[in-house]
Structure 1
């Protein structure tokens, strides 16, 4: 996947995007990440990219010219290399909520462009190049760089070859519509806290059923809203009923 980022602060991406799985994926050529500073495309002598809003108001707005010109220049370079246009994603608190499902959809794209806003906001005409607007939640951060990095990480790890174990991503929380089951490693007994005996049994069928039940229990306790959206099998419905009875008996 080719990922372009339009940002006023390209150095913010050096550490997070150069480490761990993402950094290794870039080294191996699975990901091609390019950060473009759209200030370089400003046409005024001071290289300003922001101006006060028409009609008055607090703060400064990003002007459309530097950002759109930067986008068009990057697109021209990509076109010459045979890279498709792809989706253009604007980081915006008013955008649709970014979820695991959205990450899975975007992971199938060949090319993504992230537009990172800053200051008080942006001129509405910047949206002329945007295909999708995304928000991480009902809060506001200083710029779009951190949300873009989180989205890039969530999307990239779903691309085949990025993670060392191809089974890691499909079993993540939210990928199956449930939270991930609890996991344990050595030692089997750590200061009196013991690994559930079933995980040491070697019976893979029982382990699979235990994990499925634990995922349902964890989701019920922490994110019951997910169960309302999840299509449960008859077996899972019976499991959930047993879990509720166990929890009720434990409370009594």
Structure 2
């Protein structure tokens, strides 16, 4: 089994907010896929789609035997917006002779999304349990590739509260916003960036923008 960690969907601004205590990274999706090793890819004889499907379905069935998986093995009346299930299953459709399981599913690539009702700590716990289970059953399966995908969970209330506190302090100060020189103007609707020589207010700033500008000004001071 091969495991990688994917944080590519977390942007710079979110990383900076997390670094300064306004959120955390959390596991979002487990992506499981059957892939040939570099040596196997050079061979002319390879497994059939049916064989690959069979192997990966056994991986999914092993997970589902331990964890409730929405769209796979939970009752149809189970509520989506609940903590009664752990993982949300998705895969591509299979047709014809590739439908070896007879359920219209192509198991060679599937995703398991962690329940969004879970805290970051609970998601990590479930992920650790999945990894432990897969290591105990499929550690020697060189064709099994698992990518752990992360997302940013931000404390939007804390961001908004701190931005509102900073807005009066920043009012009238000069700054650079997205490469443009200008100044900050506080109005009844919030803080705006006014580009140099502009006659009207140009850009309404989000709470995250306000914090980022404050940090940049601190760095430049």
TM > 0.5 fold call: no
Q: TM-score, normalised by structure 1?
A: 0.27
**Larger radius of gyration between Structure 1 and Structure 2:** 2
Between structures 1 and 2, the one with greater strand share = 2
Task: Name the structure, 1 or 2, with higher relative contact order (CA <8 Å, separation 6+).
Answer: 2
